[in-house]
Structure 1
Amino acid sequence: MEISKKAREAIEDIINRRAKIASMQEQLKEDVKAVAEHLDIKPGKLNKIIGLVEKERQSGEVVEEERDTLDTVESLVGEREE
């Protein structure tokens, strides 16, 4: 396969951008870990919080739906204990 100079440059650009994304993802992971440690929670819990905030900002009503779900769980657990 013959690769033109333009195609080669485009491929190199993609490789460089992928490397930048991987670096940014690693930095985000470290940032989440540091903030979670500061808050004395697990990074997974912080990621869940962040995900819910992002969903709420995008579409709304996510918090209310989660609250309804938790209320249902609480109700079911309460019924079991009785």
Structure 2
Amino acid sequence: MSETVALEIPNQADRQARAVAARTQRRLKDVLLEWINRAEAEPPMESLADDQVLALCDLQSHQLSQRLFAQSQGASLSRLIG
């Protein structure tokens, strides 16, 4: 379900949206709708509940640990081969 709304947006946002619309040959409303959908998919950190923030931190920490481990394994292998 969708709803039509009228709203005023700041001049800077209007200019940016119009520039994107012109550059990508899309309608202004399609660009704005894409931005709204993206904002909904990636909510700002301050809008998340505490448990969601903690889960996100845990996930990011785990991903960082995995990358660092992979890098250290690659460096160790390079030393052994080289």
Q: TM-score, normalised on structure 1?
A: 0.41
Q: TM-score, normalised on structure 2?
A: 0.41
Higher helix share: 1
